[in-house]
């Protein structure tokens, strides 16, 4: 990799081969990563007249240097581009954030008594089978219940299985064979597991024929009760097969990508068809910085993964110059051939039109929601006489378990909508007792100090309480030099309140002698209540997790940039927080997802806690 100034004079030194290019700002931070079949030609486009992409104008104003990596071909460039985007998280690249989670059914046939589980990620012991995906967890769980009515496998966890001494209600209603009390043989249980796997793999005709044959045999043997049970199972199988979430054999196994661009934003819709059934969809909202080609390419790179296997065919809204390279990459992920098509007629074109229509409708609904959110925020500013429009609001709360396991929470709302990526939990370092005032002071001081250093403070703070809590927070803001941040307190109504004020929420403003009592349907009040309640739920959940013995992980999770996954990975690698504290930063960066900066922050925080 070479580094050159971001200028036209540098173009002659850029190679003509395929590869990946990176644009950096004055501090050397990566702003944008792209791939090209011909590097020099592609990089040259950023220096000529605008190509219509907002990202080009942004780069012309912010980029100071460029790097590149030559690859053996276009497919290798795609793989490297995806890897570098994940590594550097460039500010100007399109980042897809799915508005839905996908779920799968997991079954491990090597267990003594296998069972169906609903899982988010396709990770499990070697040999585990996965079926789906399903766009709705509710739909996946409903499907499991329906399958258990036909194939009565256990639904309890391993601990309950080991410790149960008598059958549960599931066995009584015919939804479990009760292996926990040896009510069935392992061979009979394995036979049910085999039938279930065949059904989920699309071999329903064999299942139905086998059940019908066994029903006739039971009837001929005058075993009418058993024949009736088999008849009911056949009817239940046919009912399950009508569920659109269940993947079955069929010719249609494809996704369609629709893209619509608007004023400042774009929406991408991916419709999923499996076995001829429209089984799910994903929608992504991204800044409108790329043309349609760039948005489609970003979708192909980021939408598919080991948890979301590509289908046999992907329909795209326009022909891609790099279609062959993308098809090869998706085929590798799928394990068999995956093709890219731009359908212009027939069923494929209709599905493509449907995906585009869904994207347009989502964009219209987002525009409408943004208009409503903007009006609510303007009302909040006017109603409570705030100095700034509260584009970002943060709510804080303290929770404890009977005086111990004291924790704090911070939740963030951006544009009147929750922004979970900014949520934080605090394990208190100084306050180890039931003192809400001192605990809130510590949490606010830590959050504000960090925010001042990073120039990352909200416009409005919302706390749960009344004048005493508000006064303490205002003192913290003055002491830390953040007095420019607006703050208010929200207190629940008391039974002692009189008349129409009984039980109403009270909003306390700095310097006010009395609270504001608003109608419970006021949108301004509803937004503040939502922030307050979300902070309360977050703090309570964290405190309960500490009480249940998950405190070690929570110590790590209290460090900015360390979530449950990274905390778990660190503990798996090094065994304990004490062991991590004795290491150096170079050792921590060996853990996936831990950068050198994050490693230094982890060690600094842990040594402060020591």
* Span 417-435, pLDDT tens digits: 888 888 888 877 776 566 7
251-275 pLDDT tens trace: 568 899 999 988 788 999 888 887 6
How far is it, in rounded angstroms, from Cα 408 to Cα 432?
12
- 253-364 and 392-558 have identical folds: yes
Q: Is the pLDDT of residue 494 over 70?
A: no
State residue 546's pLDDT score. Answer: 64
What are the boundaries of each domain within the chain? 2-88, 103-241, 253-364, 392-558
> Token match 């749960």: residue?
464
- Fold adopted by 392-558: Nucleotidyltransferase; domain 5 (3.30.420)
Residue 552 has pLDDT above 50, yes or no: no
pLDDT at 278 over 90: no
Mean pLDDT of the chain, nearest integer:
81
Q: Give the pLDDT confidence score for residue 170 in this predicted structure.
A: 83
CB 236 within 8 A of CB 149: yes
Task: Give the helix/strand (H/E) hosting 540.
Answer: helix 523-545
Q: Which fold has domain 2-88?
A: GIY-YIG endonuclease (3.40.1440)
pLDDT digit string, tens, across residues 121-168: 777 788 888 876 665 667 678 778 777 777 888 888 887 888 888 888
- Report the range out of 69-83, 209-223, 537-551, 570-584 with the highest average pLDDT: 69-83
Give the pLDDT band of residue 23 (cuts 50, 70, 90).
very high
Q: What is the pLDDT confidence band of residue 496, given thresholds at 50, 70 and 90?
A: very low
Tokens 């990459």 sit on residue: 329
pLDDT at 578: 74
- Could you write out the DSSP letters of every residue in 266-284? EEEEEEEEETTEEEEEEEE
Q: Has domain 253-364 been given CATH number 3.40.50.2300?
A: no
Give me the helix-helix angle, 467-480 and 436-454, nearest 10°: 30
Contact 185, 193 (CB under 8 A): no
* 3-state secondary structure labels for all residues of 113-133: CCCCEEECCCCCCCCCEEEEE
β pairing state of 65-70 and 19-24: antiparallel
More confident call, 244 vs 5: 5
Mean pLDDT of all residues in 375-402: 88
Instruction: Convert the pLDDT of each residue in 104-125 to its tens digit.
Output: 788 888 888 998 888 877 777 8
Q: How far is CA 198 from the centre of its chain?
A: 31
Sort strands 486-491 and 460-464 into parallel, antiparallel or unpaired. parallel
* pTM attached to this predicted model: 0.53
pLDDT: which is higher, 368 or 174: 174
Whether the CA torsion 80, 81, 85, 91 is positive or negative: it is positive
Residues 343, 349: contact at Cβ < 8 Å? Answer: yes
pLDDT at 259: 93
The residue among 443, 482, 480 whose CA lies nearest residue 463 is 443
> Which of 61-70, 87-96, 233-242, 585-594 is least confident?
233-242
Confidence bin at 404 (pLDDT 50/70/90): low
């Amino acid at each position: 990799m070479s580094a050159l100034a971001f200028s036209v004079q540098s173009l002659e030194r850029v190679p003509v081969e395929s590869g990946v290019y990176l644009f950096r700002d004055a501090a050397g931070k990566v702003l944008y990563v792209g791939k090209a079949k011909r590097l020099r030609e592609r990089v040259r486009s950023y220096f000529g007249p605008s190509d219509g992409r907002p990202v080009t104008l942004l780069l012309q104003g912010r980029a100071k240097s460029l790097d590149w990596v030559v690859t053996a071909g276009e497919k290798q460039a795609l793989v490297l581009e995806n890897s570098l985007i994940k590594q550097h998280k460039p500010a100007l690249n399109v980042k897809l954030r799915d508005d839905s989670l996908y779920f799968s059914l997991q079954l491990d046939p090597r267990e003594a008594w296998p069972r169906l589980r609903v899982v988010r990620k396709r990770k499990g012991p070697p040999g585990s089978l996965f079926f789906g995906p399903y766009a709705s967890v509710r739909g996946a769980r409903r499907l499991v219940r329906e399958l258990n009515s036909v194939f009565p496998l256990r639904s309890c966890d391993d601990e309950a299985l080991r410790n149960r001494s008598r059958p549960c209600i599931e066995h009584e209603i015919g939804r479990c064979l009760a292996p926990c009390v040896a009510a069935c043989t392992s061979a009979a249980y394995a036979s049910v597991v085999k039938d279930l796997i065949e059904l989920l793999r699309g071999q329903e005709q064999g299942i139905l024929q086998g059940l019908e044959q066994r029903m006739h045999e039971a009837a001929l043997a005058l075993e009418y009760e058993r024949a009736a049970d088999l008849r009911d199972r056949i009817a239940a199988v046919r009912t399950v097969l009508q569920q659109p979430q269940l993947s079955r054999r069929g010719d249609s196994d494809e996704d369609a990508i629709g893209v619509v661009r608007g004023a400042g934003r774009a929406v991408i819709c991916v419709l999923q068809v499996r076995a001829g059934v429209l089984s799910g969809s994903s929608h992504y909202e991204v800044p409108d910085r790329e043309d349609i080609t760039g948005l489609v390419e970003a979708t192909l790179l980021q939408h598919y993964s080991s948890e979301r296997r590509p289908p046999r065919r992907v329909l795209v809204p326009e022909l891609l110059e790099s279609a062959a390279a993308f098809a090869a990459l998706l085929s590798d992920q799928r394990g068999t051939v995956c093709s890219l098509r731009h359908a212009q007629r027939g069923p494929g074109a209709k599905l493509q039109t449907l995906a585009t229509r869904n994207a347009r409708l989502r964009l219209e609904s987002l525009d409408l929601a943004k208009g409503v959110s903007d009006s609510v925020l303007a009302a909040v500013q006017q109603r409570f006489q705030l100095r700034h429009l509260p584009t970002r609001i943060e709510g804080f709360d303290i929770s404890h378990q009977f005086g111990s396991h004291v924790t704090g929470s911070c939740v963030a709302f951006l544009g009147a909508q929750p922004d979970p990526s900014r949520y934080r939990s605090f394990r208190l370092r100084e306050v180890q007792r039931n003192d809400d005032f001192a605990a809130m002071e510590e949490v606010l001081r830590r959050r504000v100090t960090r925010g001042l250093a990073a120039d990352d403070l909200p416009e409005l703070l919302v706390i749960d309480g009344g004048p005493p809590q508000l006064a303490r927070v205002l003192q913290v803001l003055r002491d830390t030099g953040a007095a420019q941040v607006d703050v208010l307190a929200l207190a629940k109504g008391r039974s002692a309140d009189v008349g129409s004020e009984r039980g109403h929420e009270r909003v306390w403003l700095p310097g006010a002698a009395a609270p504001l009592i608003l109608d419970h349907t006021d949108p301004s009040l509803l937004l503040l209540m939502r922030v307050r309640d979300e902070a309360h739920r977050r703090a309570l959940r964290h405190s309960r997790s500490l009480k249940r013995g998950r405190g070690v992980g929570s110590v790590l999770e209290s460090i900015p940039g360390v979530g449950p996954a990274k905390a778990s990975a660190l503990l798996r690698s090094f065994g304990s927080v004490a062991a991590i504290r004795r290491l150096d930063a170079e050792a921590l960066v060996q853990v996936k997802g831990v950068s050198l900066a994050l490693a230094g922050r982890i060690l600094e925080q842990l040594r402060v806690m020591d």
